Structure 1
Amino acid sequence: MATALDVPLFRPDPYRAYARLREKAPVYRDDECDFWALSRHADVSVAFRDAETFSSRNGNMLDPLLWGPDAAAFASISAIDPPRHTLVRGLVSRAFTRARLARLEPRIAEIANGHLDRALDGGEFDLVAEFTSRLPVDVIGELIGVPAADRAEIWRLECTLVDREDETDAAAAERARSMAVLTRYFADLVVERRRNPRDDLASEVVAAADADGTVTESEVLALLLVLVLAGGETTSGLIANAVDAVWRFPEARDAAYAGIDGWVEETLRFEPPFQFAGRTLTRDLTLHGVEIPEGERVLLLLASANRDGEVFDDPDRFDPTRDTSAKVTFGSGHHHCVGAQLARLEARVALREFSRRVADYEIDGAQAQRAGAAQFRDFTYLPIRVTPRPA
């Protein structure tokens, strides 16, 4: 049966709580926050593939601002089911083809090295502020068509939206204002690209939507919003978590530096920047002897599934050489993350350039600060001291 545990579910160490859930309460009910949670790999994997039973119609976020029947206005393809999902997703999926990403890689490396040039100059810096947060904003900004002068403000608004340290009414109102500002910004961008198309993703999406004739203006706007919000926050977290993981597991550094792909994939398993996804149950379901009524919100704890010892040997050890193919970080089925390959590419390039230019480093773990939102496993401050390689 569903069981209350005496361990905070998400913070400060969500993995200890996840382990207890997998063992004691694989179907867990949280009355205070009004959700059920699935924590075992087998259950999470099935749920991701069963979109008919585990619907995305109310979005995938815990935040009241982003959950409910109107979630698609902000969360786009994350908050709709097929067949509409298939149509809207098609507007952007071609932007992430293997060929297009290959053409983008040199520019990502150029951006990464520009930020590293400035950061490494002093030897000590905040990895988040100087590198991991800047790179994804610049990359997705260039891809979509956000002018460079606007990207710092876009990132500030994103940070406001995911910050959960302050749960006051004033903070909630500030988050709502930030979402309104972002919405107006991209609404104006859509109008401008329709008037003056350019060689960017915003122009492509607008043109494809206009050619289709059934895609609404609000769907176009929401699609651009979710690409920016999801692409910036999660990719920044992926890169920062990768650097932090190798510092915490120094025995893994040689393997990580020698095999960047393994470093990225193991980070996605071990410390995914997006910890869980919400779904709405479309029918009564009995699982592990627990009855979950139709209409309930269910969290798929993908970060817990990725640490399930039934699937991964010694799951709490960071090992860049392990087989991570069973991880569920990007979901599966209809809602497999559309930006997964771009996130992998950015992280691979960032870590490649970082390891090429940094011989050794130390992180001040006592001063490091994690983001406040339970759904995102990221840093807001990660002080690092580096030993650059000789030029």
Structure 2
Amino acid sequence: MRTESPHGPYDPFSYEVQEDPYPFYAWMRENAPVYHNAERGFYAVSRYEDVSTVLRDPKRFTNRNGISLEPSLWGPQAYKNVFFLALDPPDHAALRSLTAKDFTPRHVGKRTERIRELTRRRLDPLLEAGDTFDFAADFAAAVPNDVVCEMLGIPEADWDTIRFDTDLLTKRESDSDERSPETLAAAFRLATYYVHLVADIRKHPSDNLVSILCQANVKGVKLSDSEIIAFIFLIVSGGNESTGKLIGSSWYHGWAMPQVQRTGLGGRYGDWLNETLRYDNSSQMTSRTATEDVVLHDTLIPAGSRVVVLHASANRDHRVFENPDTFDIDRDTRKMLSFGAGPHHCLGGALAKVEMEIVLEEVAKEVESYEIDIAATARVHSAHQRGFQHLPTTVKRRGKSG
């Protein structure tokens, strides 16, 4: 058995891995199901069964040090950055429950028409301006950001600014795991903005998520401004990064596979996005800390070790999905782990799926087919997120010849 992939070491901060991580995952699943990167200091699990087990076992694999490999976001202080994502049950459930009802399928269903309105507000001006536009930057990333900003109570005039700075939070100019000065400046601007937002909403509460948190208490204790700000970062980043990039990836795979494009634009929006979720999820990984010595596949994961959980790899495991490297719009995707599993399954999963389906449906009302200028595309470089920053697209409108 080889000790290293023929593609090189698995390093999520490597641009080579970020461009196409799936050959690395495939090698690890078969040759090193518990992969150790000594230089970065983590163990990685890649098989479906192991990923599912770790996600569902907070006693042996805790969130207390956070879920990111970035040094600035990892450690006992992680709670300050990612709020309840850095907690385990029962503390995690107590905080998650404060806003969980707003993300249930029932409550999300009530927002359907508003999401459709926000989608058309982004799409219509693009189509009126011509048949060529940047599907990723000007549309796919904008709609989820608009939805979540409105839910939080962020004024509409600031939505694009919030999106711009949130995009910078994951931007990397090299293989380094450290944040760039540009990223740190964006984080500071957002934090300053959110400080003023929370102060204003405390004085003038309304019907939004931040108002709910400002008025909430857990076991008789009100949330601090810093806790609420951490929640805002979490929700905006989740909506902006994961959902927007998934929409863009659906679009890209529709271009790469014309039959998928025809079938998807023909009405099978849910199947199109579900298979994209499985095949090429925007969220590639999360992290945990081993609370005790754990042996998996004859490999010791010592207590205190960082454990990278590759749910994007699990979705390509042939033990669960037949022909996993084939994009199959007819596939049963119910077993996919794209939204996680266990107590930390994605809070916004139902909202994300509704947003994605509405976006594709509204585009399909206007667009018969499309082409992507592949030479001008650009991927986002992030250890945790996968997707496109730019997808220059030319569409053929329905009812138009030529």
Q: TM-score, length-normalised on structure 2?
A: 0.93
Letter in 2 for 1:83: P
1:240 aligns with 2:255: no
State the Cα distance separating 1:255 from its structure 2 match: 3.2
In structure 2, distance between residues paired with 1:61 and 1:355? 36
Q: Distance in 2 between matches of 1:25 and 1:347?
A: 35
Q: Distance in 2 between matches of 1:291 and 1:283?
A: 10
Q: 2:149 aligns with which of 124, 141, 151?
A: 141
* Structure 1 segments unaligned to the other structure (5+ residues): none
- The residue identity in structure 1 corresponding to 2:214 is V
| SS state at 1:366 partner | helix
CA contact (8 A) 2:98 2:213 kept: yes
Q: Note if 1:197 corresponds to 2:205.
A: yes
User: 2:316 is matched by which residue type in structure 1?
Assistant: R
Question: Aligned partner of 2:44: which letter?
Answer: A
* Matches of 1:12 and 1:167, distance apart in 2: 12
Instruction: State which of 325, 336, 347 in structure 2 corresponds to 1:338.
Output: 347
Q: What is the deviation of 1:212?
A: 4.2
- Are 1:272 and 2:287 an aligned pair? no
What do the CA deviations read for 1:175-208 (whole angstroms, capped 9, x no partner)? 2232222222222222211111111111112112
- Provide the C-alpha distance between the structure 2 equivalents of 1:166 and 1:20, rounded to a whole number of angstroms: 25
Moved more, 1-10 or 34-43: 1-10
| 2:120 corresponds to | 113
Does 42-51 or 189-198 show the bigger shift? Answer: 189-198
Which residues in structure 2 correspond to 1:1-391 (within 5 Å)?
3-8=3-8, 9=10, 10-121=17-128, 122-166=130-174, 172-209=180-217, 212-213=220-221, 215-257=223-265, 258-390=267-399
Which deviates more from structure 2 when the two are superposed, residues 94-103 or residues 249-258?
Answer: 249-258
* Length, aligned pairs only: 391
Matched residues, percent identical? 38
Compared CA separation, residues 168 and 296, structure 1 to 2 (3 A): closer
Q: Deviations over 1:57-76 (max 9, x none)?
A: 11111222222211111111
Unpaired runs of 5+ residues, structure 2, are 11-16
Superimposed CA distance per residue, residues 322-345 of structure 1 (whole angstroms, 9 cap, x where no aligned partner)? 101111111111101101111111
- The answer as to whether partners of 1:26 and 1:39 remain within 8 angstroms in 2 is yes
Indicate the RMSD between aligned Cα atoms, in angstroms.
Answer: 1.9
Q: CA deviation at 1:246?
A: 1.4
In 2, Cα distance between equivalents of 1:299 and 1:217: 30
Question: 2:13 maps to what in 1?
Answer: none
Q: Is the 8 A contact 1:88 1:219 kept in 2?
A: no
Counterpart-to-counterpart distance in 2, 1:353 and 1:71: 39
- CA shift, 1:256, in A, is 2.3
User: Structure 1 residues 356 and 276 mapped into 2: Cα distance closer, same or farther (>3 Å)?
Assistant: same
TM-score, normalization by structure 1 = 0.95
